[in-house]
Amino acid sequence: MVKYQFSKPAQYNPLTWSFESSSEDQLVLNIGGSLNSQTVGGLWKETEDKLSGKFRNLTVDATDIQYLDMSGQAFLLHFTSLLERRGGKTHIKGLRRDFQDTLEQLSCFDCLDRPVYPRRSVLEEIGRATVKLGRDARDFFTFVGQFVSAFSHSLIRPGTIRWKDVFLHIENVGAKAVLIVALIGFLMGLIISFQSAMPLRMFGAEIFVARLLGLSMVRELGPLVTAIIMAGRTGSSFAAEIGTMKINEEINALTTMGLNPVKFLVVPRMLAAMLVMPFLTMFFILFSLIGGAIVMLSLGYPLITYLNQITMSLSMVDFAGGIFKAVVFSLLVAWIGCVRGLQTTTGARAVGLSTTSAVVSGIVLIAVVDGIFAVTFYVLGI
Of the candidates 17, 61, 10, the residue with the CA atom closest to the CA atom of residue 34: 10
Looking at residue 118, what is its pLDDT? 64
Crossing angle of the two packed helices 208-216 and 267-298, in degrees rounded to 10: 170
Looking at residue 132, what is its pLDDT? 82
How many whole angstroms separate alpha carbon 246 and alpha carbon 257? Answer: 15
Contact 26, 51 (CB under 8 A): no
What type of residue sits at position 246?
K
How many whole angstroms separate alpha carbon 322 and alpha carbon 283? Answer: 13
Contact 108, 73 (CB under 8 A): no
Looking at residue 311, what is its pLDDT? 86
pLDDT, averaged per 10 consecutive residues of the chain (382 residues), comes to: 50 78 78 83 81 78 83 81 78 82 67 56 85 81 80 79 84 87 92 86 80 88 91 88 85 81 84 90 92 87 87 86 91 88 79 87 91 88 78
Where would I find the H helices in 16-121? 40-51, 70-85, 97-107
Looking at residue 1, what is its pLDDT? 42
Domains along the chain with CATH numbers: 10-107 (3.30.750.24), 130-380 (no CATH)
What type of residue sits at position 14?
P
Looking at residue 107, what is its pLDDT? 65
Looking at residue 329, what is its pLDDT? 93
